[in-house]
Structures are given as C-alpha cells and as structure tokens.
Amino acid sequence: MEDKKVRIILAKLGLDDHSRPLYVLSKAFRDAGMEVINLGPFQTPELVVKAAVDEDADAIGLSFHTVSYIGWIGRVMKVLKMKKREDILLFIGGAIPEEDEEAIEDAGVKGVFRPGTSLEEITDSIISTVKRERWRVVEAKP
Amino acid sequence: MGHGKFTDDLRKIKGDLKTQSGYDVKEVYVPDDIANLDFEGDIGMPGTFPFVRGTYPRMYREKLWVRGATPGSVRYAQDEGKTEEEAMEEMLEKAIVTTGLRSSGDCHQLATVDPDHPLVGPDIGNCGGPLFAAWQYLHGKLGWYAKLMARSTQGFVLELGNACGPADVCQFTMMIATMETLGMDITKLRGNMVNDPLHVHIIRSMSYKQPLEVGFRVSTDAMEWCVKNTPLFRPTNGGCAYNMRESGINTIQELAFRFGNYIEYTDEMVRRGISFESWGHRPAIALSGEIDFFETICKLRAARRIYARLATERYGADPKTLRCPPCNTNLAGDSMTLQQPIFNVIRNTIEAIASVLGGVNGMELKHYTEAISPPSPEAVTVSSAIEAIIADEANIPLVADPLGGSYYVEWLTTRIESDVMAYLQKILDMGGMREVIKTGWLQEEVEKAAQERQRELEERQKIKVGLNAYQSLLDWPIKLPMLRRESGNPYEPWGPTQKSDWEEWETFKRNRDLSQIKPALEHLYQVAKSDKNLIRAMVEAWKANASIGEVMGVIRAGMGFSYDQFEMVPVPEFLELSWR
C-alpha cells in the first residue's frame, strides 16, 4: 500500500488550447511521486473517461481557460455515470470565479483549484483526497 | 510599514536585484557605460536610422498612438436585450478615445472548423465572437461589422487579432468578399492582422493542430495578396511576440522569436519577387507591454534598432530611405491578477506609460477583469481613461523619446539588442524558425522558460503584489464591476448569446445553395493542389456561402493533409463525390 502511487489523467476538453498548465502540472505531480498520463488538449469527455478506465486511473484533472467548464463538467459526469465509474475522482483548475466553486463541488467535482493556488497545495489536496475517498486510507492524526 | 522595511524585505525575498529577464543591474550608470555608443550611428534622431528614438520625426505631435477597444463588451451588452449593433455603437461612444477596434474569434474560428465540430460543444462563442461565413456580415448578426468596414475606408482602424494565421486570413478574406459584394473600395481598407502562423507552434497553444505547411502557405499568400491589392492593410505583424511572451519566455526570446518569424516571412516575400522596399516596413512590430518598466522601454527602443540593422545588413536596404514600421504593445495579460482586480489598473497604467516612453504607435490596454473574463463595459471605460490621462493630463507625449541619452536606458537598450542578435544568430545557424520548430528545439526552450516563470513565482523571486507577497493588501477586498454572467440559468451549458449563435449557424446551413458552393470549393481545391495564390479563390468561396470548416478543410485536403485536422469529421458528402 505504501508503494502505491496516485495515478491521474490530465487533459483539456474541446478547443481551448491553453495547455501550459498541463505541462507545469505534469512535472509537479511526477516530482511528488504521482503517475501522470497527460492526454494534452483537444479531448472529448468520452476520450478522457475511456483513458481513465483503460489506464486504471484514480483521478481525472481537467484544466479550463474559458467559462465552458460549466458545460464540459456536466458531460464528463454523465459519461462517468454511464460507464458506472463514478469512483474515478474529478478535479478541475483554471480561471474559475469564486462564486461558482460551491456549485461545481455540488456537481461532484472533488477539488477546484483557482488562480493563485500553489502547485504544492494542488498536489497535496489531490493525493490526500484520493487516499481518503478512493483508497479509504485513514490517516493517523499527527 | 516603514520605507526601510519595504526595501529590506524585498531584498531578502528576491536576493539579487535583477530585472524581469534577469539582468544584473548596477546601482547607478555613468557616461563610461555608454562610451562605445556613437550618437549619429547608434542613436540619432526620431524618424531616422536606426529609429531607436521612434518611428516618426515629430512622434506624438505628428500622430498620437492608435487607441483601441475590444468588442468583448459588445457580446455582453447584447445579453441585456440590445442588438449587437446597438451594443457596439454604445461601446464606441462610451470609449470616447477609441480610434480602432480589435476583434477576436471564438475557438472554432481560431481552429478553422465549423460550429458543429465535436470539439466545439459548449465552446461556441467562447473566447470571442463566432465567425463561420461571410454570410454573417451580409445577412446575419454581424451586419454592424460590415458598417465598420465602411468606416475603415475613411480612417478607422480594424485589427484582426485572431493571431493564428489561417483564422486571420479567413476573416480578412470574408471581409474582402463582403466589401466587394457591398461595392466598397478594398484599396482603402485600413487595418492590420496579426497573421503569424508560426508562433502557434512555438507556444504549444492555439496551434489547433493546423499543419505548419498549411498555416505558412495561407498566411504568406495573404501577405503577398495584400501588398498588391490592399495597400493600407498591414497583412501581418511579422511575429506575434505578445502571445509568445505570455507563454513564459523572457525579453530576449520575445524579440529573437519575433524577428526570427519576420525573417521567415520576409525571405518568402523576397523569394516571390516582392522588393524589401515595398515589404520590409509593413509588418508592425507588436510587442508585449510588460510590468518591468525600464526593460519594456528599452525593449521597444532596441526592437526598432534591430529592425534597422536587419534591414540594412541582411536585406541591403539604404539607411537613408529606409522606413520604420509602427511599433505597438499589447499590455501584459499575465501580469494581471485575479486577487484585488483594482491593482490591475495600476499595472495597466505603468505598462502604458512604459509603452509611451518606449515610443509606441499603437497600444492595446488590458482591463482589470483580465485574469477572469473579457472586459466589462466599466473596465473598458477605465482603460480608455488611462490612455486619455497619460496623453492629455500628464503631458507625457509632448517630447519624443524623453529618456534618450539616459546612461541606464541607453546601456540597457544596447545590452538587450546585442543579446537578441546573438540568440537570433544561434537560431539562424540552426536553419531558422521553421526548422527549429520542426526539430522541437524551440518548443523545449519555451517549455523550460514556462517552468522557470512558475518557479520564480512560487519561490518569490518575482513579486506579484497580492499573489505571492503583501497578502495583507487583500484584507479589504475592493469590489469592482466584473463581467456579469449572462442572464438565465448559469449552469446551463449555453447562455442566450450562445444559443442565438447556434441558431444562426443552423439558419445559415439550412438556407445555402449547395450547387453554388460546390464549384467554388472544387476550384479552391485545385488551387490548393497547385502553387498558385489561394486568396482570390477563398474570397469567391465565401461569396458562394461556403463555411470556414469547408474552406480550410478543402485547402488542407488539397495540400495533402486531412480535411479535418483532428480527424473527427469526414469530408462532406456533397464534396466527396465530386473531386474524386
């Protein structure tokens, strides 16, 4: 169990081609000991979920530069539900207004990372959420 | 917080005090630092070789910089029940100093695919206005833009800021089709387009998988066509330095990549028999207006001298008759923060003053909303006021190149110039920009730079107030009017504007006459297969009501690439049969 690594799919959906975060995050996640499959931009919800299932991933991380996250998240959730793979955790990051955060989390997204969040905060949050909610690891209080 | 503590803290955090691009600077500069400079040959007068002091002899007394506005708020106001035309008129009126309008396309236009492509989905109308056919200018919601085309023949500046080469060329050729249909004089069309098909491959963003060969062909065909047909329209800025800079590179790389691309296009024009005298000064030098005040000023001054040196040394131009292109800035989007957006007004002001002191002929300000959304009408108003106050209250533009002769400014200008020339030579020795894009060397350089920028921020070597330092300044959040969300359910994938965009696309598709489109696209296909110029055939295809996905698809197919670069959409049935 100790050696098990958190495995994450990184992608951007649709035509939003601001891919810089994917490369910065890939490196940060790998440096933190995670396994990263970076699909890059121009993905559809179907392609991303298929990759997550095929690669046995714990989580999907999507980066958004436009307001279309609202439309895309719903579609990803729908595909996960259709495949009965809601156990795969969804995280998103990008230019997201604060007032949207609650509704996005209500929709089932496990973490929303807004501008100004450090790479360390993002990495820690994803690893601990996967351990807690997916692997059901109870961490001892220090 | 006392003054002493302020600087001590800064020094502790940043260690060495360096400029944004890492120049170690001395405490003070003296005549010895610029002893090697010759006034006549290296500095000179504004409007004369080597143009370091400005494009025109009388600078802002001759002509103030072009003050632009973005129509982002046009789409916003439309959601309040106004027509797009009413909203545009209102915005131009509010932004009273506007002398130009910059437009940007949405994702599908930038990718040159149709709105019903599977990758578009909820992205229709995001990032800009959707443009899929000249029909929209003639019969659709964009009729107001056709009115601006008429205004542009009388001096109003129309800027096409899609940046991806083919997306700009598609919009430009749609405009030509519209103007010809409405009987306007295309030789009087005034404006410019970014049209840099190379930079999208460098920054690994906005390439939309458009093959490099297709982008280069479409864009350089447009450049050649413009020289011959639309003399007042600048067909490229020679290298979209701004977008490249935003991907994390430094000042040296920004200028080297910009002039590297300029050399690619200029060599191609010369190869096609266009003289340097009629071409060289046409691409405007458009750079990023960065937050590092003196580096930005010196970068602008250095850029004009680099142009002058390349023109004379590489292309054999005569320094006595050489003309200098206009020099513009687009203020740095990545300097803006989501935290305390009012601070962005200050950043905008500093970058705008630096741009004016550097001698720009055009400027696109950012807005305090930049980190989160397109500008609200209030944000456009504030940015317009910044320009008006700099020009008319602060009296900054009275004297040309007011910092010329400063030991520090001349030293830094020269230092930037020589470092850029060395880096550019390295690229040319490897075969030029197209070659180092193909080998992936350039993308690696950008990748390294992006990682470095992020590290600098995280380790607080670069300070952004409110982001990684001075957090106490966030204690009293200052509320500003941001772009209001479209009316209706915010969690509907599409707002009302997007719905009407989609309806317009469906109306267009339903009412087209395929028997007109087919021969126009077949002709375009044959031209694409040959080495003839594509532009006239593109214009005719728009007149026949072809769509953007079809026009670019046929060009891609004609050049031996996949009709849909994402390989998700097949060739339309009505075309497939006819060209086999």
pLDDT tens digit sequence for A82-99:
999 999 999 999 988 887
pLDDT per residue, tens digit, chain B (580 aa), is 333 344 555 556 555 678 999 998 999 999 999 999 999 999 999 999 999 999 999 999 988 887 665 544 454 444 555 666 676 666 666 554 456 677 777 888 999 999 999 999 888 877 677 899 999 999 998 888 898 899 889 888 888 888 889 999 999 999 999 999 999 999 999 999 999 999 999 887 778 899 999 999 999 999 999 999 999 999 999 999 999 999 899 999 999 999 999 999 999 999 999 999 999 999 999 999 999 999 999 999 999 999 999 999 999 999 999 999 999 999 999 999 989 999 999 999 999 999 999 999 988 899 999 888 777 778 888 988 999 899 999 999 999 999 999 999 999 999 999 999 999 999 999 999 999 999 999 999 998 998 898 888 888 888 899 988 888 999 999 999 887 655 444 445 566 777 888 999 999 999 999 999 999 999 999 999 999 999 999 999 999 999 999 999 999 999 999 999 999 999 998 887 555 4
Entry pTM: 0.90
DSSP string covering B81-132, please? T--HHHHHHHHHHHSTT--EEEE-B-HHHHHT--TTSTTTGGGTTSSSB---
Quick check: is B43 in a domain? yes
pLDDT at A76 over 50: yes
User: Is the domain of B413 the same as that of B540?
Assistant: no
CB contact under 8 A, B373 and A95: yes
- Which of A20-24, A120-124, B42-46 has the lowest average pLDDT? A20-24
A89-94 vs A111-113, strand pairing mode: parallel
> Which value, in Å, is the radius of gyration of the alpha carbons in chain A?
14
- Judge whether A128 is closer than 8 Å to chain B, CB to CB: no
Provide CB contacts within 8 A for A25, sequence distance 6+.
Answer: A10, A36, A61, A63, A93, A119, A122
Does an H or E element contain B160, and which?
Answer: strand B157-160
Residue B243 contacts A, CB cutoff 8 Å: no
A102 part of contact set with chain B, CB < 8 Å: no
Which of B119, B338, B458 is closest, CB to CB, to A15?
B119
Does a structural domain hold residue B345? Answer: yes
Claim to verify: residue B283 and residue B381 sit in the same structural domain: yes
Closest CA to A22 of A32, A13, A7, A12: A12
Q: Of B114, B206, B244, B494, which to mutate for an interface test with A (greatest number of A Cβ within 10 Å)?
A: B206
Find which of B119, B164, B210 to mutate to test the A interface (most A CBs within 10 Å of its CB).
Answer: B119
Distance of CA B544 to the CA centre of its chain: 30
- Tally of domains in chain B: 2
**C-alpha to C-alpha distance for B263 and B280, rounded to whole angstroms:** 10
Domain presence at residue B120: no
Please tell me whether residues B421 and B521 are part of one structural domain: no
Instruction: With respect to residue B199, please indicate whether it lies within any of the assigned structural domains.
Output: no
Q: B244, B248, B255: which is closest to B163 by C-alpha?
A: B244
Pick from B236, B265, B267, B241: which is nearest to B255 by CA?
B241
Torsion of CA B425, B429, B433, B438, to 10 degrees: -150
In a domain, B189, yes or no: no
Label residue B328 exposed, middle or buried (CB < 10 Å: 0-12, 13-18, 19+): buried
Same domain as B394, residue B267:
yes
**Whether residues B548 and B420 fall in one domain:** no
Whether A118 has its CB under 8 Å from any CB of chain B: the answer is yes
B193, B226 Cβ separation under 8 angstroms:
no
- Residue B221: which residues within 8 A CB-CB, separation 6 or more? B169, B533, B534, B535
Chain A nearest-CA residue for B468: A116
Which pLDDT band holds residue A140 (cuts at 50, 70, 90)?
low
Are the beta carbons of A14 and B107 separated by less than 8 Å? Answer: yes
B249 within a domain of the structure (yes/no)? yes
Do residue B400 and residue B539 come from a single domain? no
Q: Which of B398, B431, B464 is the last residue of a domain?
A: B431
Residue A91 sits at φ, ψ, to 5 deg, of: -125, 145
Strand partners, B258: none
Put residue B460 in one of left, alpha, beta given phi > 0 → left and psi -120 to 50 → alpha: left
Domains, in order of start, for chain A: 7-134 (3.40.50.280)
pLDDT confidence tier of residue A138, bands split at 50, 70 and 90? confident
Residue of B nearest to A115 (CA): B338
**What is the model's pLDDT at position A63?**
96
Average pLDDT over residues A16-33: 90
Contact B486, B79 (CB under 8 A): yes
B523 within a domain of the structure (yes/no): yes
Report the side by side order of strands in the sheet with A59-64: A35-43, A7-13, A59-64, A89-94, A111-113
Residue A14 with chain B: CB contacts under 8 Å: 107, 119-123
Decide: B364 and B70 in contact? Cβ < 8 Å.
Answer: yes
Whether the CB of A72 is below 8 Å from some CB of chain B: the reply is yes
Per the structure, the complete domain to which residue B539 belongs is given by 515-576
Are residues A17 and A41 in contact, defined by beta-carbon separation less than 8 angstroms?
yes
Count A/B contacts: CB-CB distance under 8 Å: 98
The domain boundary, picked from B393, B413, B431, lies at: B431
Domain check: are B561 and B413 in the same one? Answer: no
Residues of chain B contacting residue A104, judged by C-beta atoms under 8 Å apart: none
User: CA-CA distance, B524 to B555, in Å (whole number)?
Assistant: 7
Long-range contacts of B532-539 (CB under 8 A, 24+ apart): B533/B221, B533/B224, B533/B225, B534/B217, B534/B218, B534/B221, B535/B169, B535/B173, B535/B221, B535/B222, B535/B225, B536/B225, B538/B169, B538/B170, B538/B173, B539/B173, B539/B176, B539/B177, B539/B180
**Nearest by CB: A17 against B126, B207, B372:** B207
| Exposure letters A68-101 (e unless 16+ CB within 10 A, then b) | bbbbbbbbbbebbeeeeeeebbbbbbbbbeeebe
- Other CB atoms within a 10 A radius of the CB of residue B316 amount to 8
Residue B484 has a pLDDT of: 62
The answer to whether B189 and B149 are in contact (CB under 8 A) is yes
Task: Name the domain boundary from B431, B459, B478.
Answer: B431
pLDDT at A24 over 90: no
Residue with tokens 């830094």: B412
pLDDT at B57: 94
The residue whose two tokens read 């993308």 is B443
**Minimal C-alpha gap between B35 and chain A (Å):** 43
> Do B424 and B529 sit in the same domain of this protein?
no
Q: Using CA coordinates, name the residue in chain B closest to A121.
A: B458
In chain B, residues with a C-beta closer than 8 Å to the C-beta of A100 are 490
CB atoms A16 and B123 under 8 Å: yes
Whole-complex ipTM: 0.87
Contact indicator for B450, A24 with CB cutoff of 8 Å: yes
B205 interaction partners in chain A (CB closer than 8 Å): 17-20
State the first-to-last Cα distance of chain A, in angstroms, to the nearest integer. 20
Interface test with A, best of B454, B502, B564 (most A CBs within 10 A): B454
Output the pLDDT for position A7.
98
Is the pLDDT reported for residue A40 higher than 80? Answer: yes
Across-strand partners of B24?
B18
Q: Are residues B300 and B427 in the same domain?
A: yes
Whether residue B450 and residue A23 make contact (CB cut-off 8 A), yes or no, is yes
Which residues of chain A neighbour B249 with C-beta distances below 8 Å? none
Q: Distance between CA B88 and CA B94 in Å, rounded? A: 10
B541 and B413 assigned to the same domain: no
Chain A residues with beta carbon closer than 8 angstroms to that of B121: 13-14, 44, 68, 71-72, 75
Give the CATH number for residue B323: 3.20.20.240
